[in-house]
């Protein structure tokens, strides 16, 4: 059946980042709705971000487009050009390979809920803008920008 029972989709808390880069994202949650629906070409995630939480480290993708749509609350979009408030009903798009690092921070007093949509290109490399870290979809390992592994 195409309808997805959202309540039955596993909730993942935190991020896969190595310590200490995982700390700002430790309380975020993700429900992988695209996976639950059997999608393969793009991912759809239902995200919650508590007050003070980050969606991710500020980053950009080499081979993946990314899109976010705010369902509840508000978040601050931080990118190379500065900061923009996104409220419920607003969205942002991030074309691949722009070098424009972005992430969301919840600076409000309530939990924010948003949808995150992105392609699943096996050649994608995610590069973090503010820290010495990158990751390739091919193997999921976190590396320094010079290619050396980040030890946990």
10-34 residue pLDDT tens = 999 999 999 999 999 999 999 999 9
With cut-offs at 50, 70 and 90, classify the pLDDT of residue 1: low
CATH of the domain spanning 10-143, picked from 2.60.40.1930, 3.40.50.410, 3.30.70.1140, 2.60.120.10: 2.60.120.10
Q: What percent of the chain has pLDDT over 90?
A: 96
In DSSP terms, 103 is beta-bridged to 78
Per domain, the residue ranges of the chain are 10-143
Two tokens, residue 73:
């609350």
Phi-psi region of 140 (alpha: psi -120 to 50; beta: other; left: phi over 0): left
Beta strands in 1-79 (DSSP E): 11-13, 29-32, 42-49, 59-61, 66-72, 74-79
- Label the pairing between strands 59-61 and 66-72: unpaired
91-148 residue pLDDT tens = 999 999 999 999 999 999 999 999 999 999 999 999 999 999 999 998 989 999 999 9
């Amino acid at each position: 059946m195409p309808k997805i029972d959202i309540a039955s989709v596993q909730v993942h808390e935190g991020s896969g980042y190595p310590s200490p880069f995982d700390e700002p994202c430790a309380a975020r949650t993700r429900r992988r709705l695209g996976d639950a629906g059997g999608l393969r070409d793009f991912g759809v995630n239902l995200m919650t971000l508590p007050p003070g939480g980050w969606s991710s480290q500020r980053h950009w993708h080499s081979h993946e487009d990314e899109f976010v749509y705010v369902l509840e609350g508000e978040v601050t979009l931080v990118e190379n050009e500065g900061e923009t408030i996104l409220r419920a009903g607003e969205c942002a798009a991030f074309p691949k390979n722009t070098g424009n690092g972005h992430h969301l921070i919840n600076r409000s007093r309530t939990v924010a809920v948003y949808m995150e949509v992105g392609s699943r290109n096996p050649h994608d490399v995610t590069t973090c803008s503010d820290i010495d870290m990158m990751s390739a979809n091919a193997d999921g390992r976190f590396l320094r920008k010079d290619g050396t592994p980040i030890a946990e």
